[in-house]
Chain A
Amino acid sequence: MRKYRVIYKSVLMENLQYAANVAMGFFSYFVFIYIFVKLWEYMYRMPGERIAGYTKEQMIWYVMMTEMIWFGSNVASVANEVAGDIRSGDIAYRINKPYHYTLYILTKYTGEWSIRLPMYAVFAAVIGMVMVGPLPKFGLREVPVMALCVILGLTINAVFKLCISLFSFWIEDTTPFQWLYDKVILVVGTIFPIEIFPEILQPLFKLTPIYTVCYGPAKLIVDFSPEKCVEILAAQLLYLVGGCGVMLLVYRKGVKKLYVNGG
């Protein structure tokens, strides 16, 4: 484990130099949230009204949390870097080291979001308190389990994106698949909670990564309950184990097909 800890530390050191660049993304985040605040203020006309079981404050905080996860983990390592490494052949110079390439990439990704996500979390908390006010049922005691749920969600997202990237061993370009996955997560997962969709679709969404990546962590933050917490964490663990299994299988099969330019 020490080597992965050192990889993580090295990525932190490298990315700390660019912390100021992360702050540049706050503007896009703010514009996005501002639009949704106005939209939901328009939709919630009556004080205390609920839509799909959410109060106005919960609904806006939900969007802020899912967008925080989205913006805070939007890094290149699991998507572009892996696919680029395979296409260019640079993967050859990464896999001949005594670590597992997929764990190396996941560790790198963790190091990258470890700087971005806390910055976005602080920014989201500040603008949330100013624009919406505190969440009624939010308890500091539940923060560790919420953080665990967010981390598991990010890791599941990375595993799925990595699986897509690893298909570069067989196909020329995985960008369209990454784009599709990102858009499904962004449009369906981050903007609205699952409860807002027709009941017939809700079980279907629960089977997709949306449930474990965005919905689960944000739901626990805005409307925590021990039963929901157990359900979401169990789903995340299942997804993580299954996703890692697929990832390792795809990697093992793919690396045997590696063709490197110039040998």
Chain B
Amino acid sequence: MQAIKVEHLSKTFRVKRKEKGMKGSIKAILHPQTEEIRAVKDVSFVVEEGEVLAFIGPNGAGKSTTIKMLTGILYPDGGCAKVLGMDPTKKRRQLAYGIGTVFGQKEQLWTHLTPYDNFRFFGAIYDLSEKETEIRIDELSNRFGLGDFINTPVRNLSLGQRIRCEIVASLLHRPKVLFLDEPTIGLDPVVKETVRELIRQMNREEHTTIFLTSHDVGDIEKLCRRIIIVNDGQIVLDDSVEHLKHHYPDHSLEEIITEIYKAKELTAVG
């Protein structure tokens, strides 16, 4: 079954432009100028249920814009997307029950509350009963090893502990699709490895579809079976990790991706 289906998806932003200096600032008031930036151009792909997909590309390639369209945050200008059979822009709230999101650079937890209180909050937001929420908190707390700090306010947690809590918060309602936008950014290698193992375990045990964007090749290598590379809003490669490794037998995945980036004249991976 298809978890995500994207057909000819496009998104254009209108961005203000200003000439340099004071003269430019005054001119921008009198004659405001805008420029159209096509962030996503005619992108099509399918992600099967239970698949772990890396959606990568250089900064400004259109990765986050695509994720935001798939989660119903941004409205596409053209094409269509279906996530779990739903149009994200038309059924955003209904879709929210079926998806989870983790944005490594943004906090969704309430920092003055403890992780436990946060999880109770998210349980209620996703309409889980109190009993269900407690069971799920216990289950995920054990799996993600939160026991030592589950009652410590989030603002006092380390980055690694916080990210683990963020992932647990996004998994409470058993989402069928999990969007991970740079989930391991800023983490030390040991914590990164822990987070990857937990994501892998979750995919294995709960059959969750994972849509991952990351500049960390380690994330891709350890988690993903398929890679889509985007640049300038377009897909430039869609292939399996296994197939890529088969074609470049003496190279690491990082070297392979760098080669592809160079061949496609993309800027270097973050």
Q: Once bound together, how far apart are the Cα atoms of A260 and B67, in whole Å?
A: 12
The stretch of A63-71, A87-95, A144-152, A192-200 that contacts the partner chain:
A87-95
- B52-104 contacts to A, CB under 8 A, are 62-68, 71-75, 92-94, 96-97, 99, 101, 103
Please measure, in the bound complex, the distance between the C-alpha atom of A5 and the C-alpha atom of B103, giving whole angstroms: 26
Q: Is A2 at the interface (CB under 8 A from chain B)?
A: yes
Whether B73 and A258, one on each chain, are in contact in the complex, defined by CB atoms closer than 8 angstroms, is yes
Chain A at the B interface: SS class: loop
User: What is the chain A residue whose CB lies nearest that of B59?
Assistant: A262
Q: Whole-angstrom distance between the alpha carbons of A95 and B64 in the complex? A: 16
| A259 and B96 in contact, given A13-B113, A14-B112 (Cβ under 8 angstroms) | no
Give B168 Cβ to nearest chain A Cβ, in Å: 16
Q: Is the CB of A3 within 8 A of B124?
A: yes
Complex interface: chain A residues within 8 A of B113 (CB): 10, 13-14
Cα distance A259–B69 in the bound complex, in angstroms: 11
CB of A96 closer than 8 Å to a CB of B = yes
Asked if A99 is at the interface of the complex by the 8 Å CB criterion, the answer is: yes
B65 touches A17 (CB 8 A): no
Whether the Cβ atoms of A263 and B124 lie closer than 8 Å is: no
Q: Which of B83-139 contact A (CB under 8 A)?
A: 92-94, 96-97, 99, 101, 103, 106, 108, 110, 112-113, 117, 120-121, 124-127
B6-27 CB mask vs A (1 if < 8 Å, else 0) is 0000000110000000000000
Instruction: State A260–B103 Cα separation when bound (angstroms).
Output: 14
Which residue of A2, A13, A90, A256 contacts B117 across the interface (Cβ within 8 Å)?
Answer: A13
Task: Sample 27 A-B pairs with CB under 8 A, ordered by A number.
Answer: A2-B127, A5-B124, A6-B125, A7-B125, A14-B113, A17-B112, A92-B68, A92-B73, A92-B74, A93-B103, A93-B108, A95-B72, A96-B71, A96-B73, A96-B99, A98-B93, A98-B125, A258-B73, A260-B68, A260-B73, A263-B39, A263-B63, A263-B65, A263-B66, A263-B67, A263-B68, A263-B74
Closest 3 A-B residue pairs measured CB to CB?
A263-B64, A6-B124, A263-B65
